[in-house]
Homo-oligomer: A and B are copies of this chain.
Amino acid sequence: MSAKADLISEIEDLVLANHILHAQGVLDSYGHVSFRSPERPDRFFMARAMAPARVTASDIMEFDIDGEPLARGGRSVYSERFIHSEIYKKRGDVRSVIHSHSPGVIPFSVTDVPLRAIMPPAGFLHTGVPVYEIRDASGMTDMLVRDPQRGKALAESLGDHAVALMRGHGDVVVGPELRTAVARAVYTEMNARIQLQAVLLAAGGRVEYMTEEECTLRKAGDNLDKRGSGHGSDRIWEGLKSELIDKQD
Interface residues of chain A: helix, strand, loop or mixed (majority): helix
Check A111–B202 contact: CB distance below 8 A: yes
Q: Does A230 contact B (CB under 8 A)?
A: yes
Q: Does A90 contact B (CB under 8 A)?
A: no
Using A20-B240, A210-B117, A240-B20 as known contacts, say yes or no to A142 and B217 having CB atoms under 8 A apart. yes
Q: In the complex, A200 Cα to B202 Cα: how many Å? A: 9
| B-chain residues with CB within 8 Å of residue A103 when the two chains form the complex | 190, 193-194
Using A214-B142, A230-B49 as known contacts, say yes or no to A240 and B183 having CB atoms under 8 A apart. yes
Check A179–B140 contact: CB distance below 8 A: no
Check B211–A207 contact: CB distance below 8 A: no
The quantity of this chain's copies bound in the complex is 4
Tell me the smallest distance from the CB of A195 to a CB of chain B, in Å. Answer: 7
| B-chain residues with CB within 8 Å of residue A123 when the two chains form the complex | 142, 210, 214-216, 218-219
Question: Which partner residue on chain B sits nearest A116 by CB separation?
Answer: B209
Check A229–B16 contact: CB distance below 8 A: no
Q: Does A208 contact B (CB under 8 A)?
A: yes
Using A180-B233, A230-B77 as known contacts, say yes or no to A238 and B51 having CB atoms under 8 A apart. yes
The size class of the interface chain A forms with chain B is 35 or more
A64-78 Cβ-contact flags toward B at 8 Å (1 or 0): 000000000000111
**What residues of chain A have their CB less than 8 Å away from a CB belonging to chain B?**
16, 19-20, 22-24, 28-30, 49-51, 53-54, 76-79, 101, 103-104, 106-108, 110-113, 116-127, 135, 140-144, 146, 167-169, 177, 179-180, 182-183, 186, 190, 193-222, 225, 228-231, 233-244, 246-249
